[in-house]
Structure 1
Amino acid sequence: MKLLRASDHKRMPWKNGGGETVEIAVSPEGVGLADFDWRVSMATVATDGPFSVFPGIDRTLSILDGGGMTLFIEGRAPERLTQASEPLPFAADAPTSATLIDGTITDLNVMTRRGRFTHSVRRVSVDGNSKVAFEAGTTLVLCHRGNAEIDGTALNAGDCLLVSESDVAERSISGKAQLFWITIKAI
């Protein structure tokens, strides 16, 4: 298990230059936007506009903060995405634009290279103590709000725990937090 502190996340411009993204984790480590197998990031979106296009990539978007947005994904009906919405998967190479619902938002963006990896994203609320079993694959646990502890590793808001395939086991989890549970699997 590897702890990725919020203060260490990498800030960089969007691929289309329209804003800034905070890269939480990428594989292989240190690669650029054209060469990743998978990538987890957060972005602040302050204006309506187009999304960056990533050929051959599948993406899932979740709203972390703010009023949300309406997504216009080519070939699909408009999708209203808010903090209460389930994470929304779609092809990152489909032309996509967004209209903000009520001002600036922060989103969570998970991307995997199609044909090589798949991913799932879900919200998990923690309130107290429990056990959790990690699935096969790579798991990232992002602490969105509150504080949690997984097998003695403390997660504060913005921190992420990277659990590799070799660390898959049942683990204890405690605290009061909203987490995003991201599972990435090789095909």
Structure 2
Amino acid sequence: MRTLRAASYRRMPWKNGGGETIEMVVSPAGASFDSFDWRLSMAHVGAPGPFSLFPDIDRTLSVINGDGLTLTLPDRTVTLDRCAAPFAFPGDVAVDSTLTDGAIDDLNVMTRRSRCRHRVTRHGLTAPTRLALSGEIAVLIAIGGGVEIAAGSHLVMLGPKDTLVLDADDATTLTATPQGTADLFVVEIAFG
């Protein structure tokens, strides 16, 4: 079990150079865009434009701040806002974005299709909530406010945008208690 604080995240340019990403956690540690198995990041999107292409990558995008954005894919158009479910799409298709009304911040989860897969859920917490985890790795991210996580005998306080990484031998059932208004994103990663 590892707690990662928002102040420790690494800032780096987008793959296409169009902005900056905040890398929260990547596996293996220190991996590049071409060598990661899985990666979680946040980005500030201040202008419309194309997404970076990531061959062999599956992505899930969630709006965490701002009014929203519209994604245009080859086969459909999707509008996302802070209440929308996380949106999964292949990273190797052309995606163009437009902003609904001003800049947004997003949470981006990526896994290398040939090595692993992921699932992202958003939990709007208003009371203590029990969660059962099914992935080999689980990553929890607090957005908006703080969240207290009780996992087995461990009690962890996540501040806004802090992350908790649980491995397969950590607790698979936990209780999340919001400290004010908070969304908790749960990313479950399985290999094979």
TM-score with structure 1 setting the length = 0.95
Matched residue, 1:122: 121
Identity %: 41
| Equivalent position SS for 2:7 | helix
Matched residue, 1:153: 156
> 2: CA distance between counterparts of 1:114 and 1:53?
14
> 2: CA distance between counterparts of 1:181 and 1:39?
14
CA apart distance, 1:84: 1.5
Matched residue, 1:133: 132
CA apart distance, 1:7: 0.3
Any unmatched runs of 5+ in structure 2?
Answer: none
CA apart distance, 1:110: 0.4
> 1: CA distance between counterparts of 2:81 and 2:38?
24
- 1:1-187 aligned at under 5 Å gives the runs 1-74=1-74, 76-151=75-150, 152-176=155-179, 177-187=182-192
CA apart distance, 1:4: 0.6
User: Kindly tell me: are residues 104 and 110 of structure 1, through their superposed partners in 2, closer, same or farther at Cα, counting changes over 3 Å?
Assistant: same
> 2: CA distance between counterparts of 1:130 and 1:89?
24
CA apart distance, 1:62: 0.5
CA apart distance, 1:78: 1.1
Instruction: Report if the CA contact (8 A) 1:136-1:168 is conserved.
Output: no
Runs of 4 or more above 6 Å deviation: none
CA apart distance, 1:149: 1.1
| Equivalent position SS for 1:41 | strand
Residues 40-95 of structure 1 show CA distances to partners (whole Å, capped at 9, x for unaligned) of: 00000011101000011000001011111110112x11111111211110000001
Instruction: Report if the CA contact (8 A) 1:135-1:168 is conserved.
Output: no
Q: CA RMSD in A?
A: 1.2
> 2: CA distance between counterparts of 1:112 and 1:11?
19
TM-score with structure 2 setting the length = 0.92
| Equivalent position SS for 2:169 | helix
What count of residue pairs does the alignment treat as equivalent?
186
User: Kindly tell me: are residues 49 and 164 of structure 1, through their superposed partners in 2, closer, same or farther at Cα, counting changes over 3 Å?
Assistant: same
| Equivalent position SS for 1:7 | helix
| Equivalent position SS for 1:165 | coil
Instruction: Report if the CA contact (8 A) 1:15-1:33 is conserved.
Output: yes
Residues 107-140 of structure 1 show CA distances to partners (whole Å, capped at 9, x for unaligned) of: 1100000132111111112233343322231111
